[in-house]
Amino acid sequence: MIIDNKYTIPYEVPFGYVDEKCRFTALAFVGLAQELAALHYSCAGLSIPHLQQKGLTWIISKQYFEIYEYPLWLDDLVVQTWAQTPKGLFCFRDFNCMFAKGGKKASLDKAFADRKEAETALYTGAVRNSGKTPAADSAGGNSAANPYEADEASPCMRATSCWLIVDSASGRLIKPDAHTMGGLTFCDERMENAALNKIALSDDWDIEETFSPSLLDIDVNSHVNNLNYVRWILSFMNADFCRGKLLRSLETNFISSALYGEKLVCRCKQTGDNGCVHSIIRANDGSDVFRARTEWAPASDLSRDMKIEG
């Protein structure tokens, strides 16, 4: 749903995107942002398959995430994305993720009970609206809260990103115009204090791991999906450094596209007690593919414990 030029949907944290303590993962936040961007662009006929029919495609250039709290399995969220007015070649997009009203569950049992109530209300409402069983009105209708109502005092994540439109055949960057942007509407609200800067590399590295993208890493543009670069840098880290911490901020630079079968090197350097710089290069010539900077915080500062009654 478009609300104030922001694509807005309710979202329930699924089991497939939580860690060993039932917390939504950092990679899941990045994946959610990608999904939101794709859905919003699709509303204006600007999905990658639509652009491919014109010989064009989207690529992501940079992004920055700040995570304030990791929701738990079955927490209810309200998530948003919106496009800003293009500046030259650059298409900026922001994201906002908040707990829904009543969405931060007191316990897993409460989450299951709320979910059952919502499913029952949805079913009885569907039956009632079908006109087949008028007696279903006695069930009381949908008593669930408005799933689009966010608790703005309980943010989970904010992010900003920069995208480019590229000619698929030549690789030439295309300036956004009425032809390429279709019916997309804009909201010029920006994430505060979020600069998308070039990330400086380290002179030496604590970790260097060589690997190759698999068939499962390739996206609709026939190169590595941007989520996999983030997955790789979070995989090739010092386990002792990560123990007891959660990712607080992530900044990324997408420099060139990796392809299936290429040999890549993922590198990591710790910078201080809570920071790391990451790099992915090609093994054959050392050319830049991806850079990132991460900041970490004690898990207790960014999450709550899952409670089970009884």
pLDDT tens-digit map of 209-265: 999 999 999 988 888 999 999 999 999 999 999 999 999 999 999 999 999 989 999
Q: Would the pTM count as exceeding 0.85? A: yes
Both tokens assigned to 202: 């380290």
What's the CA gap between 257 and 251, in Å, rounded?
A: 18
pLDDT value for 48: 84
Is the pLDDT reported for residue 133 higher than 50? no
* Confidence band, pLDDT 50/70/90 cuts, at residue 139: very low
> What share of the chain in percent tops pLDDT 90?
71
**Average model confidence (pLDDT) across the chain:** 90
Place of tokens 């790099």: 279
Strand ranges (E), the chain: 2-3, 6-12, 56-67, 76-83, 91-100, 150-167, 173-174, 207-211, 245-254, 264-270, 275-282, 288-298
Is the pLDDT reported for residue 20 higher than 60? yes
What's the CA gap between 186 and 85, in Å, rounded?
A: 6
- Answer with the residue of higher pLDDT: 229 or 310: 229
What's the CA gap between 304 and 300, in Å, rounded?
A: 7
pLDDT value for 132: 53
pLDDT-wise least confident of 67-71, 132-136, 252-256: 132-136
Is the pLDDT reported for residue 88 higher than 90? yes
